Structure 1
Amino acid sequence: MAKEMETKIRDAIKNVKAWQRVPTSVNGVYLVKAPGNADNDTIMVEINPLNDRGTSMKRKGLFLKSSVEFEGFGEIFKNESVMELLSTLEGINGGSNKQEIKAIEI
């Protein structure tokens, strides 16, 4: 299975320019080829969740090269103190009181 996935990744990235996103079957998860040394490009995963309209939430997502990085960020994302901090910031920044912007008919 791992060898099959490796082949798929190499085929998908082969003709891609540096920093170009290659979508995966998981919404909000992309493969990205970063320039490396000589013929050795670095392949990363970009995680950038989609919003209600199906577009990326942020201009740039979170770039990961290893499962260790993924697990490290996962531990932080699960931390209750971080969630409490973000909830407090939403109150300060007004992020939880989003008003719907209606389209203007022209």
Structure 2
Amino acid sequence: MSSQEKQMKEFLKNGQDWEKMSTKDLPGVFVVKMPATKSRPALLALEVNPMKDGKPMKRKGLFVTSKDMLVSFQEILTSDGTFSVMRSVEQINAEVAPKGTGGPKELVLDEG
């Protein structure tokens, strides 16, 4: 058993529910102890949450519990169709954001 596997087994056994363990050299990837439910024991999952300025970009990231799930997410997230839809989302949000209260305010300078 590798050192990594030993650490993870110890974390599963002794970690608190929803506790996160960071991964060395993989910013934005965490191992999370998911609590037991009535139908399954406690499990470990990867939480993927990109970092910006040393802090996670979202409060909760994407939870992955198997290689199959990881591959499926990878295929979806890297498909040309997903990028096309994302471009449209960004374009529409850029048009709407200045009207909302959450968007950044910009000063429009007069020319002249």
> Structures share a fold, TM > 0.5?
yes
Counterpart for residue 103 of structure 1? none
- What SS class does the counterpart of residue 60 from structure 1 fall into? coil
Note the residue ranges of structure 1 that are not aligned, 5 or more in a row. Answer: 100-106
CA shift at 1:15, angstroms? 2.9
Counterpart for residue 8 of structure 2? 9
Note the residue ranges of structure 2 that are not aligned, 5 or more in a row. Answer: 96-102, 105-112
Structure showing greater Rg: 2
CA contact (8 A) 1:76 1:82 kept: yes
- Alignment TM-score, normalising by the size of structure 2: 0.74
1:31-69 Cα deviation digits (max 9, x unpaired): 11111158x311111000101x11111111010110000
Q: Distance in 1 between matches of 2:57 and 2:72?
A: 21
Counterpart for residue 71 of structure 1? 71
- What SS class does the counterpart of residue 94 from structure 1 fall into? helix
Matched, 1:41 2:42: yes
CA shift at 1:94, angstroms? 1.4
Q: Pairwise mapping of residues 1-106 of structure 1 onto structure 2 (< 5 A)? A: 3-4=1-2, 5-25=4-24, 26-36=26-36, 40-51=41-52, 53-94=53-94
- What SS class does the counterpart of residue 85 from structure 1 fall into? helix
CA contact (8 A) 2:12 2:42 kept: no
1:50-102 Cα deviation digits (max 9, x unpaired): 01x1111111101011000000000001110110110111111019xx86xxx
CA contact (8 A) 1:13 1:22 kept: no
- What SS class does the counterpart of residue 70 from structure 1 fall into? helix
Write out the 4+ residue segments of structure 1 that deviate beyond 6 Å after TM superposition. Answer: none
- Alignment TM-score, normalising by the size of structure 1: 0.78
Worse overlay, 29-38 or 53-62: 29-38
Q: Distance in 1 between matches of 2:8 and 2:45?
A: 11
CA shift at 1:29, angstroms? 0.5
Q: Distance in 2 between matches of 1:10 and 1:46?
A: 17
